[in-house]
Amino acid sequence: MTDTITPSPSAPAAIQPIAPVFPSRGALRPLGLDEVRLTGGLWGDLHQLNADVIIEHCYGWMSRIGWITNFDRAAGVAGGAHDGIEFVDSEVYKLLEAMAWELGTRSDDVLETRYKDLVQRIGAAQEADGYLHTSFGRESQRPRYSDLEWGHELYCFGHLIQAAVARLRTGHDDDLPAIARRLADHLYLEFGPSGRPAVCGHPEVEMALAEFGRATGNARYLELATLLVERRGHEQLQTTLYQGHEYFLDDLPVRDAAVLRGHAVRALYLSSGAVDVAIENDDDELLAAVQTQWANTVARRTYITGGMGSHHQNEEFGDDYELPADRAYAETCASIGSVMLSWRLLLRTGEPRYADLIERTLLNGIFVSPREDGRAFYYANTLHQRTAGEEETASGLSERAEATLRAPWFEVSCCPTNVSRTLASLPGYVATSDDAGIQLHQYTPMQLDTTLIDGQRMRLRVSTHYPFDEKVVISISSDLVSPITLTLRVPAWAVDTAVATLNGEQVAVSGAAVAITRAFQQGDVIELVLPIEPRFTWPHPSIDAVRGQVAVESGPLVLALEDVDLPDGVTVDRVTVDTSVAPTRTSSGAAVSLRVHPPQATDWPFGAVERSAGAPFEADLIPYFRWANRGPSTMRVWLPKSDDL
């Protein structure tokens, strides 16, 4: 560890798209944020809300509560004690990543000035050997790497490196990538082949290093990422009474595990890094292991919203089919990690099941987090709120996940900044290309303009109100000389009902895709109809917590019943649903036939008392992601079936 190391070779990186992930090989290639422009709709509005409000909100909070000043303290230009828990550096880095994506696609002098100021202050805190952390190694602080289980040092480094990847991919090899190179080179010395054979308690740096290797062309970073993935799972990290090896994903090597387990965010970040490493090393065994874990986790350990992690204790996955609605943890960051993992697997394989889960998770598990005004966030995402919560104060820090309504900021505030960087890179998850043409995976108003591998320029526009309407219109605005294939994903729920036309003529829907091969001409119009009639969805019978209950979905949206849509004084715990009456579509979601139990005062809530179901009435359901935007309320996704039916 005292070896000197030559500076990283500055091999010119291949031209890369402005995209959050860019594997060197795979079935599909990502398109850049400059090639897909969102033009309103649900996705576009959230992308804009992030640019207009959320980035500023995160910056304002971290300025106010000292998390940015921590870097000045570390640099010796500000006094006072470190503010916040030991991994708050990572929040500043995630915000930097969001800023970098934004600056890569539009000019904004105020944002650019702020970005450069942040980078300068972070750079000033970097030590001569490349180490950069505001919580360790200085006088009155714990020594470096003295608490790998809980210190989150490499986790923070990973987020800095990912912000640098965003800066590189947006065409700037400047100060932040230089800081990241020094840090990554330091890491290689400390944890590389000649360094200490250890891992960080919280995975993250694995995918960051793999991506940094892709973005810089420096193979050493991929080598270190590979070492860190392979080293994990050998029971090295110190356990506690409550956190065992599984919590840290240190119980089994990634390639030997069958399902995701332990801390959900850690598991999903590690899996994402493992996919990156597997792809770059052509390691099909490792890739297949993660694919198996993905499939088993989706089949048995995932909420209908795409949320993952059913234990508040340790933020962990539960057992198979242990998915309680009212105690769902389903951390926003776990949903983001799930999208990161599925996106990597989609790019590698082209299989639509990964895009299906991305859509479900984004719309229901992530878009639920920010409040409509972008100034408060959910950390945990219950599927059943029994008591109306209290508004968080605008100035106070919320406990990690105990907010019953969205909170402006948290003591552990991983979710808001994670939402911000995800929304900033949202256009990157819509479409891809391959040697044969273009694939549309998600449907939202947008304009696509890209040059295909054969040199032809393809431009198209998508007009739609999906997921609130069923029709998606794709208008071609370029003349091609030779045929390409335009592939449209058909979500699993629409495989039997989707209809597609080209210039009014019906075209075949084949399973989960519509593929049209043609020398497209300006004026060609493709219509895809994805019927979104609301439907009852029944749970797997082994999910005890919601047995005898149904959810209502409309297209990709999970719907929810909120008490503000019930008669006065009725909470969601007193209703049952009449499943013999099909749900009907409304402008806001769906209407269902409910019954309300009259209040029953008893000394003992069990016994041979037959429940009275009450008279039927109709009530509206709204998209789950919109709940709790009308003040404190009770809410539930799973509705008990009326028992006299």
DSSP 494: G
How far apart are CB 418 and Zn ion at their closest, in Å? Answer: 6
Residue showing the smallest CB distance to Zn ion in the complex? 333
How far apart are CB 605 and Zn ion at their closest, in Å? Answer: 36
> 156 or 526, CB closer to Zn ion?
156
How far apart are CB 163 and Zn ion at their closest, in Å? Answer: 17
> Residues of 552-564 as b/e, b for ≥16 C-beta within 10 angstroms?
bbbbbbbbbbbbb
How far apart are CB 88 and Zn ion at their closest, in Å? Answer: 13
> 180 or 414, CB closer to Zn ion?
414
Binding site for Zn ion (CB under 5 A): 333, 414-415
The Cα 216–Cα 231 span in angstroms is 24
Sheet holding 471-476, edge to edge: 36-38, 446-451, 457-464, 471-476, 525-529, 499-502, 505-507
How far apart are CB 635 and Zn ion at their closest, in Å? Answer: 21
Do 424 and 97 form a contact (C-beta atoms < 8 A)?
yes
> 224 or 423, CB closer to Zn ion?
423
> 202 or 301, CB closer to Zn ion?
202
The Cα 558–Cα 260 span in angstroms is 24
> 199 or 330, CB closer to Zn ion?
330
> 169 or 421, CB closer to Zn ion?
421
How far apart are CB 265 and Zn ion at their closest, in Å? Answer: 7
Give whole-number Cα distances, 505 to 374, 388, 485, 528, in Å: 43, 52, 17, 12
> 210 or 415, CB closer to Zn ion?
415
Do 174 and 120 form a contact (C-beta atoms < 8 A)?
no
How far apart are CB 179 and Zn ion at their closest, in Å? Answer: 25
Do 341 and 22 form a contact (C-beta atoms < 8 A)?
no
How far apart are CB 103 and Zn ion at their closest, in Å? Answer: 24
> 334 or 570, CB closer to Zn ion?
334
> 154 or 577, CB closer to Zn ion?
154
The Cα 608–Cα 88 span in angstroms is 54
Return the closest-CA partner of residue 306 out of 249, 344, 359, 361.
Answer: 361
Return the closest-CA partner of residue 290 out of 303, 280, 277.
Answer: 277
Q: What letter represents residue 570's amino acid? A: V
The Cα 189–Cα 157 span in angstroms is 14
| E runs forming strands in 64-222 | none
| E runs forming strands in 78-136 | none
Provide, for the chain, the percentages of residues in helix, strand and coil under a 3-state DSSP scheme, each rounded to the nearest 5. Answer: 35, 15, 50
Token reading at 465: 């109100």
How far apart are CB 409 and Zn ion at their closest, in Å? Answer: 12
